[in-house]
Amino acid sequence: MSVISTPEKLRVTPDAIEEAAKLLYIRALKILPDDIKQGFFRLDASETDGLARSVLATMIENIEVAERTENLLCQDTGIPIFNVQIGRDVELDGWALKQAIARGTERATREHPLRSSVVHPITRINAHSSCGAHVPVINIDFVETPRTLRLEMIPKGSGSENGSFLQMLIPADGLSGVKRFVVDAAIKAGGKVCPPTILGVGVGGTSDLCMHLAKVAATRPLGTVCDDVEGAKLEVELSEAVNALGIGPQGLGGDSTAFAVHVEIAATHITMNPVAVNVQCHSARRASATFTPEGVVIGF
C-alpha cells in the first residue's frame, strides 16, 4: 500500500469550524431564509380565511421584529443539527471537526446566552450546553465539489419534531397506503407542530434511513424539487391534499397548512414499504457556512 499526497488541498482549521458553528447556531435562530419569507407572502396572498390571515400577519411581523431587535425568532433553540458536506480535495481531521462543532455549539449557548434545550433522556438533567450524548447531531456527506467544505446548521424545535411518524408498511399497502399515512400524520399533528409547515416525507430505505430522509425533506429549501420523478409527482399531490384539509396556520383553520410537502426517496427491500413524516415548523430556520480557497461565505 502506498500513501499519496497532492498539493492542491483545502484545509480548514478546527478553530475556524468552531467559530462557524457558534455563529451559525445564533444566526439560524435570528434570521429566516429568504425562501421561507417568500413562502409566507405566497400563502398570505392566497389565504381566504380571515383569522388565518391575521395569524400569518403576526408571523410575518415576528420575522421583522426578530431582525430589528436582533432577537431569536422562537424561544425554542431546538436540538442542534449540523449537516457537513465535504468536497473532494478537502483535508480534514474528522474527529477534530466533531469536537469543534460541539465546542462552537456550547459557546453559542453560554456566551449569547441561549436556552439549552438539551437534557439527559433518563435523568432529564440539563447541562446548559445544548450538548450531550450524540448531540449536536452531525450528519456527514461527501460531495464532488472540489476544495469546498459546507457546514449547514439546523436548530430543530420540539413542537414540530414531536410530530414525527414512521410506519413500516408492507408492499400490499401500496402507494395509496403511503398517501393515507401522510394525510393522517398531518391530521394527527394538527396545530401542535406550528403550521404552516414544510412536511417532510421519506419513502423507502430502512427504518432509520426513511426517518432521516423525512428530516432531509423537511429541511430542504422551499422551491426545490425531489430529484426522483415519482417523488416529485407525489410532492405536488400531497401538498394539495394536506392544504385541502383546512388545518390552517396554528391549527385554527384556513388554507395555509403547509408551505409545501417535500419527498425524498430511497430504494427499499422487496418486502418493505416504509414511510416517514418529519415536520418543519413555520420558523423553518437554517444557516450555512461554505469554506473555499477564496474564504468563507455565510448564507442559508
Partner 1 sequence: MAHHTLHMPCTEADIRKLRAGDTVTLQDTLFGIRDATQIHMFDRGRRTRFDLNGHAVIHTAPNVRKVDPSNTNQAGYEAVCIGTTTSDRMERFTRPLMEREGVRIIIGKGGLRDDSARAFQELGGCYLAVIGGAAALETTWITAIEDVDMDDLNPESLWRFAIRDFGPLIVGMDSHGGSLYRDVQASVESRRAAVLAKLGAA
Q: Is residue 105 involved in binding partner 1 (CB under 8 A)?
A: no
Task: Give the DSSP letter string of 189-200.
Answer: HTTTT-SSEEEE
Specify whether the CB–CB gap between 157 and 76 falls below 8 A: yes
| Residue 221 CB-half CA count within 13 A | 14
Q: Would you call 144 helix, strand, or coil by DSSP?
A: strand
Distance of CA 156 to the CA centre of its chain: 7
User: Taking the complex as a whole, how short is the minimal distance between the CB of residue 181 and partner 1, in angstroms?
Assistant: 9
- The Cα 43–Cα 237 span in angstroms is 18
Q: Which is nearer to partner 1, 7 or 68 (CB)?
A: 68
Partner residues linked to 274 by β-bridges: 168
Interface with partner 1 (CB under 8 A), residue from 26, 43, 114, 214: 114
- The Cα 291–Cα 147 span in angstroms is 8
Q: Is residue 253 involved in binding partner 1 (CB under 8 A)?
A: yes
Q: Is residue 47 involved in binding partner 1 (CB under 8 A)?
A: no
Q: Which is nearer to partner 1, 99 or 300 (CB)?
A: 300
Partner residues linked to 83 by β-bridges: 139, 152
Q: Is residue 132 involved in binding partner 1 (CB under 8 A)?
A: no
Q: Is residue 180 involved in binding partner 1 (CB under 8 A)?
A: yes
Residue 174 burial (CB count, 10 A): 12
Q: Is residue 244 involved in binding partner 1 (CB under 8 A)?
A: yes
Q: Is residue 281 involved in binding partner 1 (CB under 8 A)?
A: yes
Task: State the binding string over 48-77 for partner 1 (x if CB under 8 A, else -).
Answer: ---x---x--xx-xx--xx--x-xxxxxxx
Residue ranges binding partner 1 (CB under 8 A): 51, 55, 58-59, 61-62, 65-66, 69, 71-77, 112-117, 124, 126, 157-159, 162, 175-177, 179-180, 183, 187, 190-194, 237-238, 240-241, 244-248, 250-253, 281-283
